[in-house]
Amino acid sequence: MEVETSAVADAISAELLPFVRHTAVTLKTNVRDSLISFLFHVVVKNLLYLRHQIPQTYELLMKDHIDREIESKKSDRRRRRLVGGKRKKMLTFLKTSIELFKNTDSFIAQLYERYPEIPFQAAIIFGPSATRINDLFLLTIEPSEVQPAAVVEASRSRVDPEKIRRLCTRKIVRTLIRQCIDWKDSVPLSKIHILFRAPSGMAVPAGFLPKPRLTLKIPRAIKLHTRRLKRIKKRNERKARKVARVQVSTTVDEIDMPSKSSSSEDVAESAHLDVPHVRHLHISPFRGVTETDVSMRHLFVNESLWYSARLKPRGFAA
């Protein structure tokens, strides 16, 4: 099934753009569909752990699951093995995530078979729904230029794919930890929505739903921050008007000094508030990309639409 629509909503609302901070990463290798899929997996799996949605890294969860399965097969017990509630939820989560990653691999392969030059663009949303956002992470992976088959085969023979993946993983994880995660902000356990931005003529990938009218809006943390700033600003304005009225009726020496100090404290409070933001990680091959380039040329195209899937790790991470 293909989705054709003449009126596709903007990818990101204009009010959200000032809160987007860009981080550029350059990989010294060819970035094509298989590596794009792998990098997307790395980002999602590490975000789940870094945003406290799972109790340990995804690889450790999978290893623990495999070890338990091997142990259960070796045991000679004939009776049914009892499984706890959290264990069942973890198994459900792993099964859903494995299926999701398989679907994303086929979708990315299909995308670059039809559109080999467009950047891969995704959004990872933590929240009850794609419109009720607790936390938002944007991802852009720019593919390498299409090369002749002979050049591709020659480059493959010279490099070890596993080594390239290991080095790319190390660089991406370090970037996420150092620059893309605000450790002061906490994200509650919630559903995770995986969104892809792709042309409207694409066939809907398995497990995904087209969202032609969806526009990403300001997350809840940023809304609360702006409301707090507005309250502090109004309080400062009221105190300033009160001081001005006192100045009209008496001399400056008789002004109530605590009012001044409390007003200055409010100003200091608003100045030191940590501004929440939305991170946009831009991965590109070979060449470096400046922040201006990312914000001007590579932020999500409006001729496309969102395709959405969902993960639910809630329950076993507590």
Domain range list for the chain: 17-75+83-217+277-311, 225-271
Helix (H) or strand (E) holding 108: helix 85-114
Q: For the chain, give the percent of residues with pLDDT over 90.
A: 11
Per the CB < 8 A criterion, the answer to whether 309 and 100 are in contact is: yes
Averaged pLDDT, 203-224: 83
Q: Confidence band (pLDDT; 50, 70, 90) for 26?
A: confident
According to the model, what pLDDT value does residue 218 have?
85
Question: Where does the pLDDT of residue 82 fall: very low under 50, low under 70, confident under 90, or very high at 90 and above?
Answer: low
Check residue 260 and give its pLDDT.
45
DSSP, collapsed to helix, strand or coil, labels residue 224 as helix
**pLDDT value of position 257:** 45
pLDDT at 261 over 50: no
Q: Mean pLDDT over residues 231-259, rounded?
A: 69
pLDDT at 194: 92
Which of 198, 225, 209 minimizes the C-alpha distance to 302?
Answer: 198
Q: Please measure the distance between the N-terminal and C-terminal CA atoms of the chain and give it in whole angstroms.
A: 39
- Please say whether the beta carbons of 186 and 276 come within 8 A: no
pLDDT at 150 > cutoff 60: no
As a whole number of angstroms, the distance between CA 122 and CA 101 comes to 13
pLDDT surpassing 90 at residue 152? no
Decide which of 3.30.428.10, 2.40.170.20, 3.30.900.20, 3.20.20.210 is the CATH code for 17-75+83-217+277-311: 3.30.900.20
Q: What is the mean pLDDT of residues 49-53?
A: 87
Of the pLDDT bands very low, low, confident and very high (cuts 50, 70, 90), residue 255 is: very low
Determine what percent of the chain is predicted with pLDDT higher than 70: 72
Q: Say what the pLDDT of residue 246 is.
A: 77
At residue 2, the 3 state secondary structure works out as strand
Which range of 108-122, 134-148, 281-295 scores highest in mean pLDDT? It is: 108-122
Q: What angle do CA 281, 304, 175 make, to 5 degrees?
A: 5
Q: Is the pLDDT of residue 45 over 90?
A: yes
pLDDT at 189: 84
Does the pLDDT value for residue 114 go beyond 80? yes
Average the pLDDT over 166-186 and give the result: 82
pLDDT of residue 155 exceeding 60: no
For residue 315, what pLDDT is reported? Answer: 55
- Does residue 280 contact residue 20 with C-beta atoms inside 8 Å? yes
Mean of per-residue pLDDT scores for the chain: 76
Res 251 pLDDT > 60: no
Q: What is the pLDDT of residue 300?
A: 56
Whether residue 31 has pLDDT greater than 60 = yes
Confidence of residue 124 (pLDDT cuts 50, 70, 90): very high
What pLDDT sits at residue 217? Answer: 86
The residues, any chain, with a CB within 8 Å of residue 316's CB and separated by 6 or more, are: 54, 55, 86, 87, 89, 90, 93
pLDDT-based confidence at 213, cuts 50/70/90?
confident
Q: Max Cα separation, the chain?
A: 92
d(CA 296, CA 209): 29
